Amino acid sequence: MTLSAYELGFRVLNDKMRAAKGKVVINNCFGERFIGAGADSQTIIVNGTPGNALGMYLDGATIIVNGNAQDAVGDTMNDGKIIIHGNAGDALGYAMRGGKIFVKGDSGYRTGIHMKEYMDKKPVIIIGGCTGSFLGEYLAGGVIIVLGLNTDGWPAGDFTGVGMHGGEMFIRSSKVPLNLPPQVSFDIADEEDLEKIRDDLLEFGGTFGVSTDEIFSKPFYHLVPNGKNPFKKLYTEN
């Protein structure tokens, strides 16, 4: 099924998508919200720029965006995959608890805020470019990877990992991370660490045409919670 978002508006567009079976192609998308909310089996291709909450509560479907995406992509996503061939806005993967989000370019503030994992549910976010501040804020589970393919500097903003108490982050950079909060520990990822994310990195590279040599041309820093006291000095002295 092929739909024109511009002509339908977001309410009718989402009603028609939910009623459709199989692949849905959405053309002329200019900020229509909630596309793919709760979808569990479809492949949805969006040509344009979807509005906020793309793929919220996604439960197994695949969404491919040929353009940029706005805020709250994959909000509370449970399963499935979201692929963005551009940049993404703030709060990408908010409270995500399963599935994968791949972004070719940059993402905004609070990427992966309060992601979590449980048993076989382990969400993965990979950003090809840079992120804004508060990356992985309150991270409770899952994996966030930032590749910084478009910069020679540190590819994350300020306050990375504030409130982090679970999960792990991998940040590719030749620059040593500075000013991380006390609840975050870091080291250069070793082979055992990288083996855990190798399949996801190869999948990302295959999706966007990034070679393995380029991905592994810089070291990865492995960020984990400081388990001794993750909430000590969270925002204030205590």
Q: Is residue 237 domain-resident?
A: no
Q: Is residue 173 domain-resident?
A: yes
Q: Is residue 228 domain-resident?
A: no
The per-residue pLDDT for range 16-69, each reduced to its tens digit, is: 888 888 899 999 999 999 999 999 989 999 999 999 999 999 999 999 999 999
Distance separating alpha carbons of residues 218 and 214, to the nearest angstrom = 8
The per-residue pLDDT for range 192-225, each reduced to its tens digit, is: 999 999 999 999 999 999 999 999 999 999 999 9
> Can you give the CATH number for the domain in which 179 is found?
2.160.20.60
The count of structural domains within the chain is 1
Q: Is residue 235 domain-resident?
A: no
Chain length of the chain: 238
3-class state of residue 222 by DSSP: strand
Q: Which structural domain range is residue 65 located in?
A: 1-223
Q: Is residue 232 domain-resident?
A: no
Distance separating alpha carbons of residues 85 and 68, to the nearest angstrom = 7
Q: Is residue 91 domain-resident?
A: yes
Task: Say what the pTM is.
Answer: 0.93
